[in-house]
Amino acid sequence: MADVGNAQREIRRIAYRLWMEEGQPEGRDREHWERAKEIWNFRHRDDEAETSDRQMEASGSGYTAPSDATPRRRPQ
């Protein structure tokens, strides 16, 4: 749960920076918040993928692709 609070604080800082950079316009708080969420998600997309991969590996349900997908014939 602490991660959610940290994420929201970071999104709030990003939104504030966007608001400041645009000259502190009134009535665009929702737009800045949504853009800040997009920026935050972009910055953390690799973190989420790594976490998901680790969870799959830990549960034993991960799929491991073969190193060479070329079918091989068995010698006769």
Residue 46, domain extent: 2-50
22-61 pLDDT, tens digit per residue, is 999 999 999 999 999 999 999 988 776 566 556 566 665 5
Instruction: Specify if 25 maps to a domain.
Output: yes
Structure tokens at 48: 């989420």
Structure tokens at 11: 């999104």
Instruction: Specify if 60 maps to a domain.
Output: no
Instruction: Specify if 76 maps to a domain.
Output: no
Instruction: Specify if 57 maps to a domain.
Output: no
Residues in the chain: 76
Total domain count, the chain: 1
4-30 pLDDT, tens digit per residue, is 889 999 999 999 999 999 999 999 999
Instruction: Specify if 33 maps to a domain.
Output: yes
What predicted TM-score, i.e. pTM, was given to this entire model? 0.59
Instruction: Specify if 11 maps to a domain.
Output: yes
Please tell me the number of Cα atoms within 13 Å of 56 on its side-chain side. Answer: 10
3-state secondary structure 14-48: HHHHHHHHCCCCCCCHHHHHHHHHHHHHHHHHHHH
For residue 46, what pLDDT is reported?
77
For residue 63, what pLDDT is reported?
45
